Every structure is written in structure tokens, then in C-alpha cells.
């Protein structure tokens, strides 16, 4: 019994002696390599996968929100643009991409009756649809002749005959291909110019009221003179200087003057005086010796038209000279060649 107790006591003493050594070994810091330390700081794989999934979800949501915002802005912009177009150009709503579009008319300076012209643009023809070109102005829509050799970008036509405009006039051109009609395109049409002799009978009342002679014939009381304007026919007027003297063959002085016809009268509607046709005539009494020697009358047209500068004024001035002679008659006649737009009155 004593031996057993002694053995237990010895064991406890040994254990107590060894205990500090064990504790110091547990408290001693362990050496850790860098690789081992890095591994110890990384999250577990399942945590990393969760972070990546959350990140991808955030990015996808951001992109979806951004796409939705852009779509909303584009929609609002489209609505605003549509409203703007509707308010300014209602006809442009619902434009068909196949709609014909006119970009130019050639020649741009203007199209006269019977003249060829071109329509340039896009979608001006289609294989299975007819093309109709229309030109309208001043209540007129001339017939057009298709010259052929047409394409989707060019049409070739000849303007039909028309009349009734006085000067270059604005016109609109449209192209209809099937049921699609282009927007109107503005161009210029030119009047057809014609030349004719002027019918003066329509304005013969102006011969007296709008004409004058600076030195009309006035003889002494024993004789008399006549000075007047009168119509020869519808296209000529004459200025007559007719003298006779029953007592003397010759007077001591001759008579001269200027005749001015149509002082203020002008042609209308772009009509111009192209040429003045002038003739001078004298009728002498060959039975009187004093009236046979030399020239006894002379008239000269003073009005001269510049070839490149026609005028709408009818005013004509003529200088005349007469020798007083028994049974003497002298006169000149004047006519007008005028040019202007067909179908428009000139007076």
C-alpha cells in the first residue's frame, strides 16, 4: 500500500515537471510561408462564385436599365420629331420609301412651249407602274410628250403648246408613279413669243388725242393748209401735209416741223416694238413750173430703235419739210411690227 502511494506521488511530480515544457511549446509562434499565408486569406470558392454572380447580376441590371433609358429617350425624340414634321409639313407623314422625289428640272432657266426638258430625281419610274408628269401654272396644264429613254433618276419630256402668260411664270411639277405622287417642285415656264403687224384700228382714237405737230401748216388768209393724222388701213397711219395756194406759186419761206405720234401710249403684257416701218411720199403738181424743180418735200424718221433694246413705247417722231406750191400734197405713213407673248393682248 505504501509502495502504491509512493508510485502515484512520483508520477505527479514528473507530470508537474514536464507541464511548463508543453505549454511553452503550444504558445510558441509557428513560421508561415508567403504562399501559405496567401491561401489562408482567400475566400473559399463558394464565396468567390457568389461574388462573381452578384457582380454579373449588377452589370446586367445596369445595362438593362441603360438600354431602357436610351429606348425611352429615342421614343420621346421620335414623338417630338413626328410632331414637328406634322406641324410643319403634314404631307410628309407616312412617307413611302418608294415615293418619287424631284431634285431638279433642266433647263433651270425656264421651259418654253415645244421645248425639251428633263426631270431629275429618285424613284421617278417603276417597272410595273405608269409614270405621269404634270406641269401646272396660271390655271394651265399643257400636254407633255414623253421622249422615252426614261429611268428611275431621269425623265425626258417635251412641253406642249400653251399661251396666255405675259412673262416668265412660276409653275409646279409633280411626278406620279402608280399611286405615289411626289411633292410639287417649282420651275419656270416661258411665254411663246410671236411677231405680227400691229392692228392700229384698235387704238386709232389715240392718233389725235395722243399726237401733235410742232409746226402745223398755216397759210395766209388767201390760202389754207391741212395737217392731220388718219388711218390708211388697219396697219398704217399717215400724217398728211396738203397745201394749195390760188394766188402765188411759191411762198417766200418753206414750212417745217416735227410730228410726234403716240406721245404716251405703250404696249401692254410684255409686248415690244420690234420694228417701225416708215414710208415718205410726195405728190407734186407737175403742171406748175415752180413745183417741178428739185425736191419739194422731205420727211425723216427721227425715232430709231436699238436692235437689241426693243421698247414697249409707240412714240414716233418724224421731221418734215414742205415747199409751198400750188396743188401740192406730201405725207408719210408709219406702221409697226411688234413682238410679244401669244394669247395676250398688246393694248
Nearest alpha-carbon partner for 138 in 183, 102, 190, 97:
190
214 and 321 co-located in one domain: yes
pLDDT for res 65: 77
pLDDT for res 254: 63
85 and 106 co-located in one domain: no
**Residue 67 domain-assigned (yes or no):** yes
pLDDT for res 1: 52
Cell numbers 410684255 correspond to what residue?
270
Whole-angstrom Cα distance, residue 342 to residue 175? Answer: 28
- Show which of 191, 220, 244 is a domain's final residue: 191
149 and 241 co-located in one domain: no
**C-alpha distances in angstroms, 38 versus 31, 45, 46, 184, 288?**
14, 14, 17, 79, 151
Q: Going residue by residue through the chain (347 aa), what tens digit of pLDDT does each one get?
A: 545 545 554 554 444 444 444 444 445 555 545 444 445 566 678 766 776 787 777 778 777 877 787 777 667 766 766 666 555 554 444 567 889 999 999 999 999 999 999 999 999 999 889 999 999 999 999 999 999 999 999 999 999 999 999 999 999 999 999 999 999 999 999 999 999 999 999 888 888 888 888 765 554 444 455 567 888 899 999 887 765 544 444 454 566 778 889 999 999 999 999 999 998 876 655 555 555 544 456 678 888 887 678 899 999 999 887 665 655 667 789 999 999 999 999 98
**Residue 230 domain-assigned (yes or no):** yes
178 and 129 co-located in one domain: yes
265 and 216 co-located in one domain: yes
**Residue 6 domain-assigned (yes or no):** no
**Residue 346 domain-assigned (yes or no):** no
pLDDT for res 163: 94
The total number of structural domains that make up the chain: 3
**Residue 260 domain-assigned (yes or no):** yes
- β-pair type (255-261, 316-322): antiparallel
253 and 333 co-located in one domain: yes
- Show which of 144, 169, 191 is a domain's final residue: 191
138 and 213 co-located in one domain: no
CA dihedral 229, 345, 191, 161 (to 10 degrees): -120
pLDDT for res 252: 47
**Residue 21 domain-assigned (yes or no):** no
134 and 236 co-located in one domain: no
- Show which of 157, 191, 225 is a domain's final residue: 191
- Three-state DSSP string of the chain: CHHHHHHHHHHHHHHHHHHHHHHHHHHCCCCCCHHHHHHHHCCCHHHHHHHHHHHHHHHHHHHHHHHHHHHHHHHHHHHHHHHHHHHHCHHHCCCCCCCCEEEEEECCCCECCCCEEEEEEECCCECCECEEEEEEECCECCCEEECCCCCCCEEEEEECCCCCCCCCEEEEEEEEECCEECCCEEEEECCCEEEEECCHHHHCCHHHHCCEECCCCCCCCCCEEEEEEEEEECCEEEEEEEEECCCCCECCCCEEEEEEECCCCECCCCCEEEEEEEEEEEECCCCCHHHCCCCCEEEEECCCCCCCCCECECCEEEEEEECCECCEEEEEEEEEEEEEECCCCCC
Residue 227 is part of which domain span?
Answer: 197-341
76 and 137 co-located in one domain: no
- The cell numbers describing 139, all together, are 390655271
pLDDT for res 287: 59
Q: Which long-range contacts (CB under 8 A, 24 or more apart) does 296-301 make?
A: 296/322, 296/323, 296/325, 296/328, 296/330, 297/241, 297/321, 297/322, 297/323, 297/328, 297/330, 299/330, 299/332, 301/276, 301/332, 301/334
pLDDT for res 143: 96
pLDDT for res 161: 94
**Residue 95 domain-assigned (yes or no):** no
183 and 260 co-located in one domain: no
pLDDT for res 92: 47
184 and 108 co-located in one domain: yes
217 and 178 co-located in one domain: no
- β-pair type (236-244, 328-341): antiparallel
The CATH number of residue 156's host domain is 2.60.40.10
**Residue 132 domain-assigned (yes or no):** yes
Amino acid at each position: 500500500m505504501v509502495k502504491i502511494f509512493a508510485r502515484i506521488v512520483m508520477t505527479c511530480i514528473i507530470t508537474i515537471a514536464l507541464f511548463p515544457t508543453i505549454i511553452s511549446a503550444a504558445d510558441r509562434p509557428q513560421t508561415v510561408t508567403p504562399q501559405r499565408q496567401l491561401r489562408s486569406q482567400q475566400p473559399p470558392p463558394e464565396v468567390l462564385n457568389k461574388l462573381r454572380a452578384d457582380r454579373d447580376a449588377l452589370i446586367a441590371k445596369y445595362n438593362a436599365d441603360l438600354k431602357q433609358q436610351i429606348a425611352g429617350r429615342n421614343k420621346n425624340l421620335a414623338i417630338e420629331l413626328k410632331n414637328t414634321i406634322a406641324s410643319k409639313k403634314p404631307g410628309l407623314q407616312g412617307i413611302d420609301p418608294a415615293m418619287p422625289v424631284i431634285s431638279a428640272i433642266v433647263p433651270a432657266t425656264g421651259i418654253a412651249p415645244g421645248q425639251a426638258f428633263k426631270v431629275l430625281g429618285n424613284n421617278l419610274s417603276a417597272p410595273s407602274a405608269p409614270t405621269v408628269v404634270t406641269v401646272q401654272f396660271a390655271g394651265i396644264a399643257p400636254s407633255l410628250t414623253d421622249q422615252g429613254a426614261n429611268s428611275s433618276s431621269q425623265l425626258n419630256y417635251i412641253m406642249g403648246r400653251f399661251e396666255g402668260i405675259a412673262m416668265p411664270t412660276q409653275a409646279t411639277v409633280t411626278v406620279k408613279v402608280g399611286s405615289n405622287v411626289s411633292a410639287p417642285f417649282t420651275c419656270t415656264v416661258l411665254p411663246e413669243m410671236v411677231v405680227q403687224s400691229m392692228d392700229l384700228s384698235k387704238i386709232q382714237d389715240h392718233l389725235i388725242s395722243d399726237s401733235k405737230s410742232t409746226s402745223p401748216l398755216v397759210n395766209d388768209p388767201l390760202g389754207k393748209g391741212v395737217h392731220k393724222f388718219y388711218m390708211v388701213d388697219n396697219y398704217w397711219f399717215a400724217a398728211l401735209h396738203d397745201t394749195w395756194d390760188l394766188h402765188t406759186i411759191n411762198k417766200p419761206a418753206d414750212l417745217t416741223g416735227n410730228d410726234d405720234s403716240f406721245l404716251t401710249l405703250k404696249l401692254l403684257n410684255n409686248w415690244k416694238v420690234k420694228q417701225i416701218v416708215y414710208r415718205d411720199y410726195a405728190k407734186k403738181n407737175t403742171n406748175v413750173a415752180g413745183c417741178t424743180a428739185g425736191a419739194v418735200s422731205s420727211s425723216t424718221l427721227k425715232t430709231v430703235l436699238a436692235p437689241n433694246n426693243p421698247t414697249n413705247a409707240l412714240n414716233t417722231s418724224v421731221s418734215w419739210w414742205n415747199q409751198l406750191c400750188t396743188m401740192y400734197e406730201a405725207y408719210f405713213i408709219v406702221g409697226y411690227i411688234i413682238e410679244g407673248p401669244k394669247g395676250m393682248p398688246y393694248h
